[in-house]
Amino acid sequence: MPNLQTVVDALETLYPLRYAESWDAPGLIVGDLDAPVTRIAFAADPTHTVIDQALAWHADLLVTHHPLFFRAVHETSGSGAHGAIVSELYRHGCALWVGHTNADAAYRGVGQAAADAFGLQDLRPLEPIDDPQSPHAVGIGRVGRLPQPMPLRDFARIVARELPHTEYGIQVAGELDAPVSTVAVLPGSGDSMFDVVRASGADVYVTSDLRHHPATDALEQARWEASLRRQGLHAGSGDGHMRPALINTPHSAIESLWFRYALDDVPAAVETRSGERPEVTWIDMRTDPWDLVIR
């Protein structure tokens, strides 16, 4: 059977650590490299509830998108929630590997999985990474086009349908009946990328965690540029509609679309290296934090 080192090699070939943002620290977080791996569980977040379910399934490895540690730590004692998780994983012989911004950028990673789920074609990275080692275009986010233009409200319904259920759903801002064709997708927090999205010529931007002030500023700019274009002046891109419109999605929900690919890609890569294919499961419980929305 493959050991953890073999599985990590497979993971880091599919989702190279060199793609990670400078502030990020993905990769192997917990585990002994010589330990056997026969069962791999996937989940968006390494919460206590997810850990409990992985251990109940007797997973040898848990692969998550979100890190256990976002910032540097100086202790992992049981007095803290994260230290208790590390202790629990070691006690039950379950490793933890994180594919975060490296998986965002990879071929068949988080960005591509979401764009494919929404039916986009002719994909290109929103912010490319130059990687001569990759035969595929890689980078943060994706930009693509719909097979046929459709009203914003109809495309928003496609996005909502494809995402795992959450209590608070999605939010849409823009001219709901305006036709959209070119779509930019950035799973995860995306309101630092408005300039890049505008430069891409996208009619609508699908992302998460949009804050009031950046989103308002982006919409005001789109509305003003549209008014200038209607006067025959050159401003931004597109027709007389405000572009890009915004679709705000639940953070973990849109990122978890990645596992539709990872559930096949990871065991296949491990089998190529070891001759044996591990069992896999997706722990698809809702890990977005909100339990109730009152309208």
Mean pLDDT, the chain, rounded, equals: 94
**Residues 36-54: what's their mean pLDDT?**
97
Which residues make Cβ contacts (< 8 Å) with residue 87, sequence separation at least 6?
76, 78
* Tens of pLDDT, residues 49-71: 999 999 999 999 999 999 987 66
Model pLDDT, residue 130: 96
**CATH dotted code for 119-249:** 3.40.1390.30
> According to the model, what pLDDT value does residue 73 have?
72
pLDDT score recorded for residue 75: 65
pLDDT of 74 reads 59
Could you check whether 4-104+255-282 and 119-249 share the same CATH topology?
yes
Question: Domain ranges in the chain?
Answer: 4-104+255-282, 119-249
Q: What is the tens place of the pLDDT at every residue in 66-97?
A: 998 766 675 676 677 878 899 999 999 999 99
Of 7-16, 52-61, 81-90, 102-111, least confident by mean pLDDT is: 81-90
pLDDT of 277-295, one tens digit each? 999 999 999 898 888 989 8
290, exposed or middle or buried, with CB in 10 Å at 0-12, 13-18, 19+? exposed
Residue 230 has pLDDT above 90, yes or no: no
- Third-level CATH fold of 4-104+255-282: 3.40.1390
CB-CB contact of 188 with 251 (8 Å) = yes
pTM for the model: 0.93
- From CA 131, how far away is CA 270, in angstroms rounded? 23
Among the ranges given (26-35, 70-79, 157-166, 236-245), the one the predictor scored with the smallest mean pLDDT: 70-79
